[in-house]
A and B are shown apart, each in its own frame.
Chain A
Amino acid sequence: MAVATPAQAHLMNSGFGPFYDGLAHPLLSPEDLLPAVAMTLLAGLGGVRPGRFVLAILPAAWLVGMVAGWAIGLPGAPAWLTAVVTALLGALVASDLRLPLAVVIAVAAALGTLHGYDNGRDLAATAGALVAIAGIACSLFAIVSLLAGQVAVLRAQWARLAVRISGSWIAAIGLLMLGWSTRS
């Protein structure tokens, strides 16, 4: 039920083929985009080093998750869990808590695998699924590199504050996603 809706809503046909559908997918799926953005902002606030690690790990873990979901096909994470994770990541960004690098890496790996698994599972029935999977991974890599790169070099206090405020918005949206997941 929670999985069926994303499959209908986001597996759109761009007309350009499965790779481009994959590219567009993260940008059109707030359930995936928001936690990915929050993770990236968190890494970026920590500086260049965490940013580089998340750039390497988040898309890669997502890719691994997608292939696993596509191959295994068992139900993935429930919607409420995605919502809670999104809210927590947003709160971490808002608080500007400096986490140890190992923790950031572990969270990025877990997040990527979890969301990737759901994406891969949703794609299992479609033609060109593996190509779409490649598209999704590429799109994420682009998003993370653009965002992390810009956040990591911010020095001005107000700019960091704006990032933290964005994190608080993501936390707020995560809470609402939690409420929404209890309906339908």
Chain B
Amino acid sequence: MTRGAMKRGALNLRSSPILLPWLLLLWPTGASAHILGDQAGGFVSGFEHPISGLDHIVAMVSVGLWGAQLGPPAIWLLPVTFPIVMAFGGMLGLMGVPLPGTEIGIALSAVGLGAVVATQARPPLWVAAVLVGFFAIFHGHAHGTELPPDESGVLYSIGFVMATGLLHLCGIGIGLIHRWKAGELTMRLGGVGVAITGCVFLWDALT
């Protein structure tokens, strides 16, 4: 294969099969629905959990939006940091370690992430990663403690990690519009919207 045939960044058939491992992981849903009964419910309820709360959705999409604004390497580092630290929080939740103020933390994450998108804040990379990680713990803990009884913890975990990653991807996808002036402005306004939503949830959580 000559160099010319592999354009840098081009979507070609050789690269697209990378979806295969993730298709393999989706397999359990189909087969398990018939065979394993409730256990399969674990994956579905896990997948639904992040998207069942507007507070979760806006925060996770915002991580993708901010990554898109900051560009590489943040564009992939932030959506990698969030799930890993979130998993740590989820692990604590599954283990029964209490974390005070989870709802407040989640609401604050929407406020904070909305604010950085609105202002296009450009802190050093490590600061961004720490901020994202700090918020991720609250989200993860919430997912971990809200595992429905009698459902497979492992499948639930796979579900919510995948849903989170896909929400980040949505944010990154939406974030592609920032190349245009109008798109950039729209994203910043979106950030304002997220921050306001966060304030509403914060009010809810505090009262």
* Residues of A participating in the B interface, judged by any CB pair closer than 8 Å: 9-10, 12-14, 24, 27-28, 30-31, 33-34, 37, 41, 94, 143, 146-147, 150-151, 153-159, 161-166, 168-169, 171-180, 182-184
* Chain B interface, number of residues (Cβ within 8 angstroms): 46
- Residue interface bits B7-41, CB-to-A below 8 A is 1, else 0: 01110101101101110110110011001100100
CB distance from B31 to the nearest CB of A (A): 6
Q: Is the CB of A146 within 8 A of B90?
A: no
| B86: nearest chain-A partner, CB-CB | A172
Q: Is the CB of A177 within 8 A of B154?
A: yes
Bound together, the chains give a CA A146 to CA B24 distance in angstroms of 11
- 4 closest Cβ contacts across the A-B interface? A179-B91, A179-B94, A180-B153, A176-B157
Enumerate chain B residues within 8 angstroms of A143, measured Cβ to Cβ.
24
Q: Is the CB of A176 within 8 A of B161?
A: yes
- The A interface, classified by DSSP as helix, strand, loop or mixed, is helix
Given the interface contacts A165-B165, A176-B161, does A27 sit within 8 Å of B31 by beta carbon? yes
| B12: nearest chain-A partner, CB-CB | A156
- 19 cross-chain CB contacts under 8 A: A9-B152, A28-B27, A30-B25, A30-B155, A37-B25, A41-B21, A94-B80, A153-B14, A156-B9, A156-B15, A158-B9, A164-B76, A166-B18, A172-B86, A176-B90, A180-B94, A180-B153, A182-B94, A183-B94
Q: Is the CB of A155 within 8 A of B6?
A: yes
Enumerate chain A residues within 8 angstroms of B36, measured Cβ to Cβ.
9-10, 12, 28
CB distance from A95 to the nearest CB of B (A): 10
| A176: nearest chain-B partner, CB-CB | B157
| B17: nearest chain-A partner, CB-CB | A150
Of A13, A28, A162, A169, most B-chain CB atoms within 10 Å: A169
Q: Is the CB of A159 within 8 A of B31?
A: no
Enumerate chain A residues within 8 angstroms of B144, measured Cβ to Cβ.
176, 179
Q: Is the CB of A150 within 8 A of B91?
A: no
CB distance from B207 to the nearest CB of A (A): 31
Enumerate chain A residues within 8 angstroms of B15, measured Cβ to Cβ.
154-156, 158-159
Enumerate chain B residues within 8 angstroms of A34, measured Cβ to Cβ.
25
B205 located at the interface, meaning its Cβ lies under 8 Å from any Cβ of chain A in the complex? no
